[in-house]
Amino acid sequence: MSELLLARWQFGVTTVYHFLFVPLTLGLSILVAIMETIYVKTGNETYKKMAQFWGKLFLINFAMGVVTGIVQEFQFGMNWSGYSRFVGDIFGAPLAVEALAAFFIESTFIGLWIFGWDKLSKVQHAAAIWLVAFATNLSAFWILVANSFMQQPVGYVLKNGRAEMTDFFALLTNPHVLYQFPHTVLSGFATAAFFVMGISAYHLLRKNYLDFFRRSFRLGLIMGVISILLVTTVGHFQGQHLVNSQPMKMAAAEAHWESADPAPLALVAFIDEKAQANSFEIKIPKLLSFLSYNTFSGEVKGIKEIQAEYEAKYGPGNYIPPVTPVFWSFRIMVGAGVLMILLALYGLYLTRKGQLEEKAWFLKAMLWAIPLPYIANTSGWLVAEIGRQPWIVQGLQKVEEAISPSVSAGAVLTTLVGFTVLYGALAVADVYLLTKYAKQGPEETITPKSVGTSKEVSLWT
């Protein structure tokens, strides 16, 4: 395999893996902060237990998010030095500000939160988790500012053989980030909501700590209903924005080869990328036009026409991303989202009727629904990043020009295998711990365990 392909795989593996942990961190930090705030306000010990129980799960997940994030910052220089030289003037700034303005707060105050239960006042301690929650979400903003430049470059000029920043404010108000940030953060909230509801459902089914998990479920439900409805709405407008800013990505997401007015929406398609056509499809007339423009008419450009336009603009070459994975990832994302909406709304209905605990099948479904947001998040990023191909920065630099010339394919393969094996092993440990503590329930977590017998255990035998 070529260095390019290996480096892409490495980016894909490390990024998707990192983003398994980030969304839960975004939302769960806020839920834990809310729980602790209710405890501080009301003095109700149940909410303290809730903050501690969910906080423990939060920390197990948080650790994985942090350590895999370090790889993200380093690999631009390691595997993509061509990219780093070309856009470092712009791309580095939000990363550096993220470290200074967000990551420092997050890492410092998480230490205070973990170790400060009896060293800080109640209000200070609650403030620490709020700062963590705030900084985590702020962190997402800066990272998405950087990513949005790759999707929609703004505020720059080409000079000295590279892209140089001319307007930092334009970078912050990049139209792309104005959709991407709420979409991503709200997906994180939905992830946490389904995580909390799923684990609570597990215990409600077994009649464990009923009061505790009823309250937890209700908090999760509120966050879930609000976030999943908002994320869909934002997603709709984001799609419309992309039709204009990255038409090729959206055309690929719809496997929409020929321009059409009005354009139909393909629900399912067998895609023949070589022939640039779909051998079979189930279509709904006019729907793609409607989704693109909110009216049932209007031309939506097809892949072939956009390809011709790009050739005229950027010279000969293939500007079509891999259509099949983008098309299906998009459908998986939307499908998972629709399921989440239905579950959340039905959960709301049941709770209002007071019938939640009578419907065992629903509680079971909620437990099994924990992976749904993860599937949606991952496939969403696959659409965003595969749909951007062959560009690393839309219209400015191609992926093939971005790799590190000094790094051999063998070296990339070594690290790719290394990261994959390491990540695989850590995933096992992480899932083991999350399952263990999720099943255990809150009682075990309230009293800090006494240290236990201090047996002599040698490190080396």
Partner 1 sequence: MDLNVLWFILVTVLFIGFFFLEGFDYGVGILLPVIGKTDTERRMIINTIGPFWDGNEVWMLTAGGALFAAFPNWYATLFSGFYLALFLILAALIVRGVAFEFRSKDENPTWRKCWDRMIFAGSLIPALLWGVAMTNLIRGVPIDDKMEYVGTFWDLLSPYTLVGGLAGLLVFALHGAIFLSLKIEGELAERSRKTALGLFIIAVPVFILLIVLSYSQTDIFTKLGAGLIFCGAAVALLLAYWFLRSGKSGLAFVFNGLTIVFSTLAIFWGLFPRVMVSSLNPAWSLTIYNASSSSYTLKIMTIAALILVPVVLLYQGWTYWVFRQRVNAKHLEY
The residues in 84-123 that bind partner 1, with binding defined as CB under 8 A, are 84-85, 87-93, 95-101, 103-105, 107-112, 114-116, 118-120
Judged by CB, which is closer to partner 1: 158, or 284?
158
The tokens for 80 are 């993509």
CB of 71 to partner 1, least distance (A): 5
Hey, which residues between 369 and 408 contact partner 1 (CB under 8 A)?
A: 404-407
Exactly one of 15, 37, 46, 166 binds partner 1 (CB under 8 A); which one?
Answer: 166
CB of 105 to partner 1, least distance (A): 7
421-450 footprint of partner 1 as x/- string (CB under 8 A):
-x---x--xx--x--xx----------x--
Decide if 384 contacts 326 (C-beta within 8 A).
no
Hey, which residues between 348 and 367 contact partner 1 (CB under 8 A)?
A: none
| One-letter amino acid for residue 181 of the chain | F
User: For partner 1, which stretch binds (CB under 8 A), given 33-41, 58-66, 273-281, 346-354?
Assistant: 58-66
Instruction: Please report whether residue 287 would count as binding partner 1 according to CB under 8 A.
Output: no
Instruction: Please report whether residue 411 would count as binding partner 1 according to CB under 8 A.
Output: yes
Hey, which residues between 67 and 86 contact partner 1 (CB under 8 A)?
A: 67-68, 70-71, 73-74, 76-79, 81-82, 84-85
Instruction: Please report whether residue 11 would count as binding partner 1 according to CB under 8 A.
Output: no
Hey, which residues between 256 and 285 contact partner 1 (CB under 8 A)?
A: none
CB of 38 to partner 1, least distance (A): 23
Contacts of 442 (CB under 8 A, 6+ apart): 49, 50, 52, 53, 209, 212
Count of positions on this chain that bind partner 1 (CB under 8 A):
80
Please identify which residue in the block is written with the tokens 């392909």.
5
DSSP-derived 3-state class of residue 279: strand
Q: φ, ψ for residue 272 (rounded to 5)?
A: -110, 95
CB of 395 to partner 1, least distance (A): 20
Instruction: Please report whether residue 164 would count as binding partner 1 according to CB under 8 A.
Output: yes
The tokens for 304 are 């072939």
- Report d(CA 162, CA 38) in Å as an integer: 51
- Report d(CA 238, CA 330) in Å as an integer: 13
DSSP-derived 3-state class of residue 328: helix
Please identify which residue in the block is written with the tokens 């354009």.
263
Instruction: Please report whether residue 409 would count as binding partner 1 according to CB under 8 A.
Output: no
- Report d(CA 380, CA 124) in Å as an integer: 37
Return the closest-CA partner of residue 236 out of 191, 285, 183: 183
Please identify which residue in the block is written with the tokens 């189930």.
282
